[in-house]
Amino acid sequence: MNHPLIHRWKSLQSKTNTCLCIGLDPDITQLPSGYSSNVTGLSHFLKDIIDASITQCIAYKPNISFFEAYGIEGLTILSDIIKHIDQTVPVIIDGKRGDIGNTSAMQAKYIFDYFNADATTLHPYMGLDSLEPFFNYQDKFHFVLGLTSNPGSKDFETLPLKTNTTLATTVIQTLSHWNKTYQNIGVVVGATDNKLTEARNINPDLLFLIPGVGKQGGTYETAYNAGKNLADLALINVSRGISGAVKHKQSIKEDINHAIQVILKPL
């Protein structure tokens, strides 16, 4: 896959020797000591996480819902931290968007033109016309939900079809076909070995964004080995396993460094 962001991620992988993507899911009730329990404290905490980790990861993934929960102030924080990252590593806004065409066009404009994100997450249920406004941002990257490991994934994703396959398999096969045209499509796959192996067997080259490592039970080493593509690249997301390891503002750098070292295994 020849895309500028793929080249950036490979370059960062070489520099950091990781495929770590750090999730930013801010929660005022979970702030460590030393930070004020308000949106100002939240902003300082997120910027401190970034400052302590930016040389040890290849992407950040802020989940927009955690910012939306604090209204306009929360969205201002999201804009500020993206500016704080300052293109040092790519930013994936986890928005799980995808609606009828004209609505998706506005969603894409919001994420890419307003926030200047490098990538986002999408859901595929409404088909190509709901995703194409995103795909048409050719310099951006788009991770579409494929095979997740939440308990409810069995409700739809693993339903058997008359073609002797599952809905999730059909989604990933279809994304593979679309990617021949757009060259900027990846897949969200949960961090369990069986899910990753199943998805990887469908297509060896699609880039996977892999949530579920750390507090959710997945391991970095397993996720990388099962989820890497032909270029030995994957984006392995850890959120609470890093932010939740911080005990106090004064020790944030040491706490994050220790958490990352515990999570990571040599590639």
Is there a contact between 46 and 76 (Cβ–Cβ < 8 Å)?
no
Quote the pLDDT of residue 65.
98
Whether the per-residue pLDDT at 160 is higher than 70: the answer is yes
Structure confidence by residue, pLDDT tens digits, 59-102? 999 999 999 999 999 999 999 999 999 999 999 999 999 999 99
Structure confidence by residue, pLDDT tens digits, 38-62? 999 999 999 999 999 999 999 999 9
Alpha carbon distance, N-terminus to C-terminus of the chain = 21
Distance CA 71, CA 206 (A): 35
Owner of token pair 């579409």? 144
CATH topology of domain 4-263: TIM Barrel (3.20.20)
Return the closest-CA partner of residue 139 out of 165, 163, 119. Answer: 119
* pLDDT averaged over every residue in the chain: 95
Residues 6+ apart with CB under 8 A from 134: 97, 98, 104, 107, 108, 120, 122, 140, 142
Distance CA 44, CA 30 (A): 14
Whether the per-residue pLDDT at 33 is higher than 90: the answer is yes
Backbone angles phi, psi at 29, to 5 degrees: -70, -15
Q: Which two tokens stand for residue 35?
A: 């930070």
Q: Express as a percent the part of the chain with pLDDT over 90.
A: 89
Distance CA 25, CA 63 (A): 6
Quote the pLDDT of residue 193.
75
Which residues are marked as active site? 96
Quote the pLDDT of residue 246.
96
Structure confidence by residue, pLDDT tens digits, 98-134? 999 999 999 999 999 999 999 999 999 999 999 999 9
Quote the pLDDT of residue 217.
67
Distance CA 36, CA 42 (A): 8
Percent helix, strand and coil across the chain, each to the nearest 5: 50, 20, 35
Is there a contact between 78 and 46 (Cβ–Cβ < 8 Å)?
no
Quote the pLDDT of residue 212.
86
Quote the pLDDT of residue 151.
86
Structure confidence by residue, pLDDT tens digits, 178-218? 999 999 999 999 988 788 999 999 999 999 999 988 666 67
Q: Taking residues 153-161, report their average pLDDT.
A: 91
